[in-house]
Chains A and B, each alone.
Chain A
Amino acid sequence: MAHRKKNRNVGVIGVGQTKHSSHREDVNQAEMIHEAVREALDDAGLKMDDIDCLVHGNMELFEMIHQPDLWHALGTGAYGKNTFRLTTGGTTGATLFCAGDNLVASGMYDVTMVIGFEKLQEGHTTGGITNMADPLWTRSIQTGALTGTCAYDLIQEFGEERANQVAMMYRIIMDQHAGLNPKAHRAFGLEWDQMDHLIKTSARLVGELKIIDMCSQSDGACAVIMATEEKAKELSDNPVWIRDHITVHREESFTMLGYDQATVPPLTHKVAAEALFKRNGISKPADYFDVFEMYDPSSWWGVDWLRAFFLLEGDEHLKLVEEKEIAIGGKIPVNPSGGVIASNPIGATALVRPAEACLQVRGDAGPHQIPTPVNHALASGFGGTMWTVLIMLEKELGW
């Protein structure tokens, strides 16, 4: 695919997030967004006057609002500024991040703020998602974001006992990470001795996908400020550099409903990882990266996608989980924030991934900061119907 070197380097100089929660009845949408915007501005030491351009995004239809960016101007600071709105489903937040990078790299703007939000409790998520399906073939029979295919595949490939054990280990690791992140929505305090009980008793939603495996529905917002290399060095002591990113997607409605194992289409995550790492000369991503913030909508997907993103073979991805190498303190910590299973304000979720990765690079993640230095970070976004956005972040320039 066509890809050129960036016109100029771009650094992340400010990150802000709300505390993610099941209900934010104390604030309206603009007020909640403003909390993230204020935190990002304070983090960067900037005022709204310093921002040249805004990009706003969330899921279409989820709060039943048309053009939410217009009245969110009360909280985003968009008054008098060039503003764009983006919506690419679950990947929206990651697309916002890429768009911000492109807008600055292109030379159009020196300092850009991107803002993702969602108040899932105000709308009807499955009602909104159902709209993406073709009215003739799948709209009336699909199950929204809930799919059992991945669990089925893992069980087929690795056996019921091992697949269930690994998925639940992944789930408990994520919960323990979420317990360290004061901004995470859900942290149950799950313990290792609950594993077998949870596997047996958690209610099945679709196939082997259990309620405990699935991500939350959250209210929350995230804002990230990016600047040119020159501005970033002038304004920030610790900019995090956006090295490269890639977007891959395809229409997936039919394969979601089951496919012929002889003609399995390639996973977009794998296509993205292969292309991105090839053009950046990285052959062993699990060795190269120090931390990975993955968009993991369920524990089954989380486990399965490790293999695709890290270009692993056989059961190497299962071993990473079984040996707890993906936990904080492990070889390649995944989602020290607790990930998407813990917090999922969808339009913000895929922006929280690179935002959290930036905090890890800076060493500013707080209680869930990983103990070893982070020089290279990876972040991913995911959305229906099989969209991947994959983002590489660096502590130092000169790769």
Chain B
Amino acid sequence: MKEGFDTTDCFLVDGKLALPYTYFAGRVGSKFLTTIRDEKKIMGIKCNKCNKVFVPPRQTCDVCMEDIRDNWVDVQNTGKVTNFTVVRYDDKHLPKKAPYVLAMIQLDGADTPLVHVVEGIDLDKAKIGMKVQAVFAKETTNTILDIDHFAPA
């Protein structure tokens, strides 16, 4: 028996779909980004019921179901790495050239970690618990990349 399938005279239909989108960030998400952009300051939102400070912020505490949109608190630009990996491939959608450290960073004063990039360290020196601080971007993109990266503190 012949190996594989007989594909003689079978079409492959090449297609391409454009799916453009716009994301409405909402007031809470917008304020978080504009504060980073305009004041180089990172803010969180605190749930007064469970006392958690969320960074990134959210309008509702998903555990307590409390409306917490107005409970803004300042957090530090410094924090610690709670988990990380090393991105070793390049692709168009990635924010940095590989290899780089992609990390979960819990800022001082926050209870939840933020996903970001750590630069300025040897890849084999990255570890959970290491102290880092935010380095703000010189030019704004109105995204979370207005924090350009985190560097060892």
CA distance in complex: A136, B14 (Å): 10
Please report which residues of chain A, range 121-143, place their CB below 8 angstroms from some CB of chain B when the two chains form the complex: 121-124, 127-128, 130-131, 135-136, 139
B62:A74 contact, CB within 8 angstroms: yes
| A-contact bits for B10-26, CB 8 A (1 contact / 0 none) | 01010101111111111
CA distance in complex: A127, B17 (Å): 7
Chain A residues within 8 Å of B21, by CB: 63-64, 122-124
| Nearest B residue to A131, CB-CB | B17
B45 to chain A, nearest CB (A): 12
Q: How many A-B residue pairs have CB under 8 A?
A: 75
Chain B residues within 8 Å of A27, by CB: 24, 26-27, 59
Known contacts A28-B23, A61-B19, A124-B18: does B62 contact A136 (CB below 8 Å)?
A: no
Contact of A73 among B22, B26, B62 (CB under 8 A): B62
Please report which residues of chain A, range 97-139, place their CB below 8 angstroms from some CB of chain B when the two chains form the complex: 119, 121-124, 127-128, 130-131, 135-136, 139
Chain A residues within 8 Å of B95, by CB: none
Chain B residues within 8 Å of A363, by CB: none
Chain A residues within 8 Å of B58, by CB: 30, 74
Chain A residues within 8 Å of B20, by CB: 64, 123-124, 127
Interface presence of B63 (CB below 8 A): yes
| Nearest A residue to B14, CB-CB | A135
Chain B residues within 8 Å of A29, by CB: 24
| Nearest A residue to B22, CB-CB | A122
A79:B19 contact, CB within 8 angstroms: no
A34:B19 contact, CB within 8 angstroms: no
Contact of B65 among A25, A77, A131, A135 (CB under 8 A): A77
Interface presence of B28 (CB below 8 A): yes
Known contacts A128-B19, A136-B13: does B60 contact A75 (CB below 8 Å)?
A: yes
B140 to chain A, nearest CB (A): 20
A28:B29 contact, CB within 8 angstroms: yes
Please report which residues of chain B, range 19-73, place their CB below 8 angstroms from some CB of chain A when the two chains form the complex: 19-29, 58-60, 62-63, 65
B15:A139 contact, CB within 8 angstroms: yes
Contact of B24 among A25, A61, A74, A131 (CB under 8 A): A25
B65:A121 contact, CB within 8 angstroms: no
B62:A123 contact, CB within 8 angstroms: no
Chain B residues within 8 Å of A73, by CB: 62
Number of A interface residues at 8 Å Cβ cutoff, please give it: 34
Interface presence of A31 (CB below 8 A): yes
Chain A residues within 8 Å of B63, by CB: 79-80
Chain B residues within 8 Å of A121, by CB: 22, 24
B27:A135 contact, CB within 8 angstroms: no
Chain B residues within 8 Å of A319, by CB: none
In this complex, which of B13, B25, B62 has the most chain A Cβ atoms within 10 angstroms of its Cβ? B62
Known contacts A47-B65, A75-B60, A77-B62: does B19 contact A28 (CB below 8 Å)?
A: no
Interface presence of A24 (CB below 8 A): yes
Interface presence of A26 (CB below 8 A): yes
CA distance in complex: A142, B37 (Å): 44
Interface presence of A48 (CB below 8 A): yes
Given A74-B59, A124-B18, 4 more pairs with CB closer than 8 A: A29-B24, A31-B26, A74-B58, A123-B22
A selection of 25 A-B contacts at a CB cut-off of 8 Å is A24-B24, A26-B26, A27-B26, A27-B59, A28-B23, A28-B24, A28-B25, A28-B26, A28-B28, A30-B59, A31-B26, A31-B28, A47-B65, A63-B21, A63-B23, A64-B21, A74-B58, A74-B59, A75-B60, A122-B21, A122-B22, A127-B17, A128-B19, A130-B17, A136-B13
